Structure 1
Amino acid sequence: MKLDIAKIVGSLSDTGWSQVHSFKPEDQVKFNSHGELLAAVSFKAKTEIDISSFGAEIIKRLQEIYYSHEAESVLKKLNQTCETLAAEFLDQVELEIVALAVWQNYLYAAKNSGGQVWLKRGEALVKLFAGEGLTTASGKLIPGDWVVAVTGQFGQLVTEGSLRAALGETSAAAVGESLTAQVHGHDNNSQASAIILKTEPEAKPAAALPKELKIFAGPHLNKRRRSILTVGLVLASIFILSLVLSGRKKQAESGRQAYQAVVDEVNYKLDEASSLLTLNPLRAKALLQESQARIKEYKEKERKPGREILDLEARIAPALEQAQREYRAEAVEWYDFNLVKDGFRGGNWDLSGKEVLVWDQTSQTAVLLNLETKAAKEIVSGEDLGRVQTIGLTDERGFIAAQDKVTVVDTAKEKIIAAVDADEWQKITTARGFGGNLYLLDASSDSQIWKYLGLEEGLSSKRSYLAGDSFDLSEAMDMAVDGSVWVLFSDGTIVKYTQGKKDAFQVIGLDQPFGEAVKIFTSPEVEHLYILDRANTRVVVVDKSGEYAAQYQWSGIAGVKDLVVSETLKKIFFLTGEKVFSLDLK
Structure 2
Amino acid sequence: MEKIKLEIAKIVGTPGSSSWAQIHTFTPEEKEKLNLRGELLAVIGLRSVEAGMETVALGREILSRLHEEYFGNLEGGALPRLKSSLEKIHEEWPEVEIVSGVLFSSTKAESLGARVLYLAILGKGRVVVKRDNLLNQVLKGSAEDKIETASGLVYPGDIFLLGTESFFEIVSPGVLRASLNLSEPQAMVEAIAPLVLSRTDLNQAAAVINLLVKEKEEEIAFEETEKLPEGEAPAGKISIKDRFANLGQKIFLSKFRPRFGQIRLGKKEPSFYVKNEKEKGNRLIFSVAVILIILFLSSLFLGFNKRKQAEKENRIREYYSRAEILYNQAKEAVDLDNEAAVNYLKEAEGLLAEAKKIKPGQFEDLDHLFQEINNLAVKAGREKDLGELPVFFDLQLIVPEAKADGIALLPEKIAALNKEKNSVYFVDLEKKSTITVTDEKLKSSEVIFSSAKEVFVLTAQGLWQIDYENKKVNSVFGSDQDLQNIIGGATFAGNFYFLDQERKNIWQYGKTETGFSGPKRWAAEDAFEGKSLISFAVDGSIWVFSDKGIEKFIRGQSDNFSLKGIKPEKIAGFNLFFSGETNNYLYFVNSSEKKVLLFSKDGQLKAQYLWQGKLDQPRFLAVSAEDKKVYFGQDNLIFTFPVASLE
TM-score scaled to structure 1, two decimals? Answer: 0.47
